[in-house]
Structure 1
Amino acid sequence: MGFAVLCAVVLVGTLLQVTIGFGLGMITAPVLALVEPALVPTVNLVLACCVTAAVLVQDRASLDVRGAGLALAGRVPGVVAGALLVAFLPARPLALLMVVTVVAGVAVTVYGFRPRATRGAVVVAGAMSGMMATTTSIGGPPMAMVWARFAGPRLRSTMGAFFLVGSAMSLGALTFAGSVQAADLWYALLLVPAAAVGFVLARPIGRRLDVPRTRMAAMALSLTGAALLAVQQFT
C-alpha cells in the first residue's frame, strides 16, 4: 500500500515539476518521510536527477549557462553544510526541518517575494538550496524565488541544469558521509517508472491546466504532507 501511494505521489509531483516548475520535492519528500523516513533524502535526490535531466534535454535551447554556473558555485558550501547536518542530526529534527522548509517554500511562493537575480543573490540562493536539498531534498524555493522573472522554458531548463548537477553533488556528499545505502538507490529505481509516466503526461495535461490554480493546489498538497509529518513527529 505504501509503495502504491508513493508511486502516485511521485507521478503527480513529476507532472507538476515539469508543468509549473516545482512540486517533486515539496510534495514527495513529506510523504516519503511518513512512509519510510530512512529513504529521505536519497530517494528524492535520485528522482530529481532523473526528472531534471529529462527537462533539461527537452528545454536545453533556453538554458542560462551563466546563471546555472553561479548557482552551482554557491551550492558547494551549502551541500557540505547539509551533509554534515544529515550525518549528525537525529531523524526527528531532520523531519521537523523538512516541515519548516515546506512551509517556508509555500510562504515565499504565496507572497511572491522576487529579489533581483544579481550575481550575489544567485550565489546565496544556490547555497541555501544546496543545504536544504541535501538535508530534506527540497531545494527548489530559493531558486524559484531568485529566478521568478525567467520565462517558462528558460526557468525549467536553468532549474533543470542546476538541480541535475546539484542533486548529483548532494548524493556524492551524502555518500561520502556514509548516509546513502544500496537499498535507498534500489528503492529510487523502483519509483523511476512512476516519474517517467508523470513526465510523459506533463505535456498533454499541461496544456489544459490553469497554472495559478495548479500552483495553489500543489502548495495545498505540500502543506498537507508537511502537516501530517508534523503530527506524526509529535504523537
Structure 2
Amino acid sequence: MSVGLLIAGVVILAGAVIQGAVGYGLNLLAGPLLALIDPMLVPVPVLMIACVQAALAVLREHRHTDWRGVGWAMLGRVPGNVLGVLAVAALPLTQFNLVIGLSVLACVGLSLLSLRLEPTRPGLVVAGVASGAFGTASSIGGPPIALLYQHSSGPTVRATLGAYFLLASVSSVVTLWIAGQVRVEHLGAAAVLLPFMLAGFAVSGPLRKFLGGSRLRYAVLAVAGVSAAFLVVRNAF
C-alpha cells in the first residue's frame, strides 16, 4: 500500500467515526483531504465507501428513519446528480478541484447557519438538488440535508441521513458510471479504503453518546473548511 493510500485510509477512518457518531461528516472531512492526496479518490471511491457506511447506519438505527423526508429529498437528488455529472465531465482538473473546494466552503457556510429550518417538502426537494450537485461532483452532499434535521434527535438524524446517503450515493455512482466516469482503479482504491471505514464505524458505536455535542460539529466544519480553503488557494494561484 502506498503512503498516500495509507494516509487516505486514516482520513476515512476518522470520518467514519465522526459520521457513525453524529450522522454525517465522512465525505465532508474526507472529500477535500483526499482530493489533496490524490484527485482520483474523489468522487467515485469516496461515494462507494459512503454507500457501505450509510447501509450500516440504517441497519443500526432503522426504526428512527424519516422515510417520508428521504423520499422528498431523493426527488430533488436526481436533477442534482445531472448537474454534478456535467461539472465532472466538463471541467479540467484544476477547475474541478476548485469546484470541490468551493462546494465544501459553501456547505460549511450552510452548516453554520443558525436559522430554524425544518424538513418541509419544498425544503427537502431544494436541499436534494443541492446535495445531488455537490455530492456527485465532489462526494460531499450531506450538509444541505443535515441542515434541515439539525434540531432532530440523534437517532433520527443518524438513521434518516444514513438512509438518504445510501440511496443518494448509489444514485450518484450509477449516474457517474452511465457518464463513463467510473474506472477500474476507482474500484481498487475503494477496496483498499473499505477496511478503514469498517474500523471507524465499529469504533463509533460506543462513542455515539459522547460525540454528539456542538464541539465535535464545529471541529468537523473547521477541518473541512481549512482543507477546502487550501484546495481553493492551491488551484487558484
Under TM normalisation by the shorter chain, which class is it?
over 0.9
How does the TM-score come out when normalised to structure 1? 0.95
Letter in 1 for 2:185: A
Structure 2 counterpart of 1:52: 54
Change (3 A) 1:120 1:111: closer
Show structure 2 runs of 5+ residues with no match: none
Structure 2 counterpart of 1:176: 178
Letter in 1 for 2:115: F
Deviation at 1:117? 1.9
Structure 1 counterpart of 2:204: 202
TM alignment of 1:213-224, pairs within 5 A = 213-224=215-226
* Pairing 1:228–2:227 present: no
SS at match of 1:115: coil
TM alignment of 1:23-172, pairs within 5 A = 23-172=25-174
Letter in 1 for 2:136: T
Residues 24 and 161, structure 2, Cα contact 8 Å, conserved in 1? no
Residues 84 and 177, structure 1, Cα contact 8 Å, conserved in 2? no
Task: Give aligned-pair identity as a percent.
Answer: 37
Q: Tell me how far apart the structure 2 counterparts of residues 78 and 230 of structure 1 sit (CA, whole Å).
A: 22
Moved over 3 A (4+): 206-210
Deviation at 1:52? 0.5
Q: Tell me how far apart the structure 2 counterparts of residues 216 and 104 of structure 1 sit (CA, whole Å).
A: 15
Deviation at 1:232? 2.5
Residue deviations 1:152-201, cap 9 Å, x none?
11111111111101111100110111111011111011101000010010
SS at match of 2:180: coil
How does the TM-score come out when normalised to structure 2? 0.94
Deviation at 1:210? 6.3
Q: Tell me how far apart the structure 2 counterparts of residues 161 and 209 of structure 1 sit (CA, whole Å).
A: 20
SS at match of 2:164: helix
Moved more, 69-78 or 209-218: 209-218
CA RMSD, Structure 1 to Structure 2 (Å) = 1.4
Q: Tell me how far apart the structure 1 counterparts of residues 96 and 73 of structure 2 sit (CA, whole Å).
A: 24
Deviation at 1:113? 2.9
Residues 30 and 98, structure 1, Cα contact 8 Å, conserved in 2? yes
Residues 111 and 144, structure 2, Cα contact 8 Å, conserved in 1? no
Change (3 A) 1:165 1:210: closer
SS at match of 1:59: helix
Deviation at 1:108? 2.1
Residues 29 and 223, structure 2, Cα contact 8 Å, conserved in 1? yes
* Pairing 1:12–2:26 present: no
Q: Tell me how far apart the structure 2 counterparts of residues 178 and 113 of structure 1 sit (CA, whole Å).
A: 39
Q: Tell me how far apart the structure 2 counterparts of residues 68 and 209 of structure 1 sit (CA, whole Å).
A: 24
Q: Tell me how far apart the structure 2 counterparts of residues 14 and 231 of structure 1 sit (CA, whole Å).
A: 27
SS at match of 2:162: helix
